[in-house]
Structure 1
Amino acid sequence: MENILTITGNVKFTITLDPGVWIFDDRRVDLTTYFSQVKETSDSVEAYTKAVSKHWDREIMEGAIYPPTLKTEKKFEKEKVLTGTFGIPFKPFLLNSEPAPEAKSLIVHTTTEEIEFPLETAYNLILGYSKNGKPLTSNGPVHIYYGDGSNKDTPITNVTRFTIK
């Protein structure tokens, strides 16, 4: 039960977070490269169009059969998941909790302190949940990284819950 986190407080819905299942989430980001990459801002329609276009081009070039290159890509992706260091953006979870219009801040509760963030800043936080393919058990279940990566070497650890105030 110590691996389960909650978002409570001035929200419409209390959210329960289980970092153990995020390894299967498509929103995961590779923390070894995330903060060094150039951030692209694109809308979902543009991203969908590019993905469909890429798939269509592949079918035209290689045919609609299951080419061997796809098998090796899946094997590489599986290996990456089992050995990678990953995090997930916090924003979707905050949006799902539907903070009240008068909510102004997020309090991160750790085993030793409470850290308060303005809600606008909290939307950019990244929750790290695995290191080298292993869950963060000793000082986890999550590590909190600022969206700009300014604390990537010293993230907030020992997080126990979140409260919207």
Structure 2
Amino acid sequence: MNQIMQVKGLVAFPITIDPSVWIFDDRKKTSEEIFALTQSESDLEAYTKEVSKHWDRELLEGAHLPEKAAGKKFKKQEIITGTFYMPLAPFIKNAEPLKEAEQIVIQSAEKELTYPLSVVDEMVLLFCKNGKPLTDSGPIHLFFKNKGKDQTPLTSITGFELT
């Protein structure tokens, strides 16, 4: 099965995506991160709390030199055994949908399904299960964040077209 897929149709830049390299992408997420039932706080609240904590520490302890930042790093064991998802929205946004685009057609080996373009933010793509790429019914499976991880995914996806 072909691992490379296209995003085409009513887009400014037709792009190709290759799920086999997503294991190295920092945007990948685990099922716990994707299917969390509620977001306890907004990004702004989290940022404010972190800055407040840092400010309080500096007032009490004084300034510290920054620690050596190792960057975002996944442990080798997590990559070898992990199950990872990738949000679809960044790829669609990079293709820059034209103003006329209203729907996204998910093309698979069995069928084509059409969804409004507004639900792209809810779509996530499973590309790695238990540390292995999806080869039988892959290269990706499509899930919706709001339906939870017990849903039946769309499998054998071959491409995306905006109409």
TM over 0.5: yes
Tell me how far apart the structure 1 counterparts of residues 64 and 81 of structure 2 sit (CA, whole Å).
Answer: 30
Report what 1:115 is aligned to.
113
Report what 1:144 is aligned to.
142
Report what 1:42 is aligned to.
43
Paired residue type of 1:41: S
Preserved CA contact (<8 Å) 2:127 2:141: yes
Tell me how far apart the structure 1 counterparts of residues 9 and 48 of structure 2 sit (CA, whole Å).
Answer: 35
Report what 2:102 is aligned to.
104
Partner deviation per Cα, 1:7-66 (whole Å, 9 max, x = no partner):
0000000111000111111111102553135335325xx659949x77xx7xx8997666
Tell me how far apart the structure 1 counterparts of residues 109 and 76 of structure 2 sit (CA, whole Å).
Answer: 34
Q: Alignment length, in residue pairs?
A: 154
Task: List gaps (5 residues or longer) in structure 1.
Answer: none
Report what 1:28 is aligned to.
28
Q: Which runs of 4+ in 1 moved over 6 A?
A: 60-63
Tell me how far apart the structure 1 counterparts of residues 82 and 11 of structure 2 sit (CA, whole Å).
Answer: 33
Normalising by structure 2, report the TM-score: 0.79
Tell me how far apart the structure 2 counterparts of residues 12 and 5 of structure 1 sit (CA, whole Å).
Answer: 17
Which of 82, 85, 94 is equivalent to 1:84? 82
3-state SS, counterpart of residue 36 of structure 1: coil
Change (3 A) 1:123 1:41: same
Flag the structure with larger Rg: 2
**Percent of aligned pairs with the same amino acid:** 34
- Higher mean Cα deviation, 131-140 or 32-41? 32-41
Report what 2:8 is aligned to.
8
Tell me how far apart the structure 2 counterparts of residues 155 and 61 of structure 1 sit (CA, whole Å).
Answer: 50
Preserved CA contact (<8 Å) 1:85 1:133: yes
Change (3 A) 1:153 1:62: farther
